[in-house]
A and B are shown apart, each in its own frame.
Chain A
Amino acid sequence: KAGVTQTPRYLIKTRGQQVTLSCSPISGHRSVSWYQQTPGQGLQFLFEYFSETQRNKGNFPGRFSGRQFSNSRSEMNVSTLELGDSALYLCASSSIGGLGDSPLHFGNGTRLTVT
C-alpha cells in the first residue's frame, strides 16, 4: 500500500506570492491533517479535514487555508507569503479520523523556502 504522498518536495517562493501544496493520503484514509514544522516552533497543527469538511483548525492566520476533495486528496494554500512561512509542511492521513482512534501516518513533507 502506498504511503502518504506530498508534492512538490521543494518550493522556493518570493514574499507576497501564494503557494499550493498537495497531499494524497493512504488509500482508504478519509482524514487528512496538515502540520507546519520549524526549528523554533517545532510541529504545529494547521487543520484537519474529514470527508471534505474542515473538522479542526489550529492557531494560524487566515492566509493559511485548505480543502479536501471527494477522493480524500487535500491541498493547502498559503497566500501573501512571509519569510516566517519558510518551513517543512507535513501532511498526515488516518483511517477514520478522530485522533484518539487511529494513528496519523505522515508524508515526507514539502520544504517551502520564502525569499
Chain B
Amino acid sequence: GEDVEQSLFLSVREGDSSVINCTYTDSSSTYLYWYKQEPGAGLQLLTYIFSNMDMKQDQRLTVLLNKKDKHLSLRIADTQTGDSAIYFCAEVGTALIFGKGTTLSVSS
C-alpha cells in the first residue's frame, strides 16, 4: 500500500545544516514534495522534485532523491530559528500521500 515514513523529531543548532529524511513506497510517483507547516498555519509548499532527477537545489534547500531505495531527503543549510516547523514529505498516489511530519527544532 501507499505509505510515507519520516522520523518524528530533529533538533539542531542555529547555523548548522538540517537533514530530514523520508521513505516512500510508490515508485510510479511522478513528483515528490516537501511542505512546511508552522503553528496555526496551513501547509506551505517548499520545493518539489521530478522523479527523473537526482538532486534539486533551491537557495538554502537541497533535495536528494534515491529512486532505487525510494529515499528522499531535504537539507536545509545554515538553519535559522525561523525554520522551526513541521516538515512533510509527500508522494503522488491516488492523492497526495503525506508522511506524519518531522518536527524541526532550532536552538540558538
Contact = CB atoms under 8 A, between A and B. Distances in A.
Indicate the size class of the contact surface on chain B: 20 to 34
Indicate the size class of the contact surface on chain A: 20 to 34
Contact of B43 (A48, A58, A106): A106
B95 A100 contact: no
Contact of A108 (B30, B31, B41): B41
Contacts of B98: 42-43
Contacts of B48: 103
Interface of A: 4, 6, 33, 35, 42-43, 45, 48, 56, 58, 90, 92, 99-101, 103-109
Interface of B: 29-31, 33, 35, 40-45, 48, 88, 92, 94-101
Given A42-B99, A58-B95, 16 more contacts: A6-B42, A33-B95, A33-B96, A45-B97, A56-B95, A90-B43, A92-B43, A99-B31, A99-B92, A100-B29, A100-B31, A103-B33, A104-B96, A106-B35, A106-B43, A109-B41
